[in-house]
Each structure stands twice: as C-alpha cells, then as structure tokens.
Amino acid sequence: MRVLTYNVRGLRDDPRAVARVITACRPDVVCLQEAPRLAGWRAGRRALARATGLVPAVNARVGGTAVFVRPGLVVLRAEHRVLRRYPWLHTRAVAIAVLADGRHRLTVASLHLDLHAGARLRHMAQVEPHLRRLARRYGAPLVVAGDCNEGPGAPARRLLGLFLDDAAELAPWGEAATFTARRPRHRIDVVFADPGVAVVRAGVPTALVPSGALVAASDHRPVLAELTLPRWAGPRAADTP
C-alpha cells in the first residue's frame, strides 16, 4: 500500500504541478492538507481528482483535510471530525477513512496540526483515542499522516510515537526535509504507521518527482510511504457496531 501525505497549499501555486507530483508517486491513498476550502473549493478538488485519477473518500470543506483513494479500494467508513475550536486560531479537522482491499484493511487519518504548540498537543490528545478505537473495531491497522507543524521530538509527535512508528525513521528513503519546498530544512510532514505494518520505505520521493515540479506545486514537499499490511483476520465476536 502506497500512502502519500501532501500539504497542497489550497492549490494556490500550480495545480497541474500538484497533479503531476501525485500521479508520479502512484499512490493508493493520498492524505491531503490545505485542500481547497474557500470559494470554489468543490471545483478545485474535483479537478484534482480528475487529473490524478483518484476518488474522494473523505472530502468535507472545514479544516482543509481530505482523503483520496485509488479506484477499487472499498471505503468501509468515512469520517470528518472537527477538532476543538479556539477563537483565535484556524479551525482544524481530521479526515478518517477505513479502507479495504481484498484481505487487507487500513484505517487512515489525515491531520493538519496548528501552529500553536498547545493546540497541537490538545488536538492530538483529543483525536488519538478515537483513532485507536476505530482501528480496533475494524481490525484495520492505523496510519496517521499529515502536516504536524513541528519537528521530531516535539510533544504532539511524541504522543503519536507512543503507539505508532515514524515511517521515515524506520525505513528512510529519498530525502527527509519537507518544508519549505524551495529550501527544505524541516521535517514537519510525516507518515506514522501501526507497529503491525511493515514499512518498506518512506520519505520525500525525489527519485520519482523532478525537483522543479516539487517547487512549483506547493510550499511543502510530500512524503510517500510504501507499506506492507497484515492480512485481515476477519470479524471477531467482540466486534460490535
């Protein structure tokens, strides 16, 4: 399973370059941050889906997070959860999809944490128990991907690291830094994977995407993680809606 996380800056730079970057990565799942959310947001997202051949699985406006998937993946559950609001900060939300592909399942969440450190940690603490419950209920290992707005070792990422692995630390590939695209120095865009998922490789896919397209597309660079999922064991007696 190829999971891509990408902050596309509202498609305000070069939408065609964004589509080229995504297509070159051949993802099964794309976790978007700063997907268009202002006037004309539906048209912008539809155009991106058409250009990449992907299907929106979670596509609400508020918060700018979305999950797109390749055709053929079955969406067992789709959620868009608005996180605790702070009057002086942007509204944040998490897009969650439970996906199935034959004998494999995956719970994936697209996050865009705040610039404010306290809000980042509180939002992560708010959403983490729900994600874990959902993954257990569906027997679908969890992947959380997105723009953390903080580097390795910071509090919200430490909280995620208590139960998920940083894919690029386990199996680094390509380049590490994701921000800015023009002068990459910070690794703030991350894919975290359940320990039951084998990480084949993860990082900024510079071998797949020309640097010019990465710079033209957005102020962030994407992270691509190639994952091997465990086989789904089937429903358990304790699993209830």
pLDDT digits 0-9 by tens, 137-163: 999 999 999 999 999 999 999 999 999
Q: Does 14 fall in a domain? A: yes
pLDDT at 232: 85
Q: What tens digit of pLDDT does each residue of 200-214 get? A: 999 999 999 999 999
Q: Does 38 fall in a domain? A: yes
pLDDT at 236: 56
Indicate the angle between helix axes 15-25 and 41-52, nearest 10 degrees.
Answer: 40
Q: What tens digit of pLDDT does each residue of 176-199 get? A: 999 999 999 999 999 999 999 999
Question: Phi and psi (nearest 5°) for 226?
Answer: -100, 120
pTM strictly above 0.75: yes
Q: Distance between CA atoms of 34 and 46, rounded to whole angstroms?
A: 15
Q: Does 238 fall in a domain? A: no
Q: Does 240 fall in a domain? A: no
Q: Does 237 fall in a domain? A: no
pLDDT band at 239 (very low <50, low <70, confident <90, very high): very low
Mean pLDDT across the chain:
95
Q: For residue 131, what is the domain's CATH number?
A: 3.60.10.10
Q: Does 233 fall in a domain? A: no
Check whether 233 has a pLDDT greater than 80: no
pLDDT at 39: 86
Q: How many structural domains comprise the chain?
A: 1
**How many percent of the chain have pLDDT more than 70?**
97
Single out the residue of 60, 52, 53 nearest to residue 97, CA to CA: 60
Residue 219 CA to chain centroid, in angstroms?
16
Contacts of 51 (CB under 8 A, 6+ apart): 15, 16, 19, 23
Q: Does 234 fall in a domain? A: no
Range of the domain at 163: 2-228
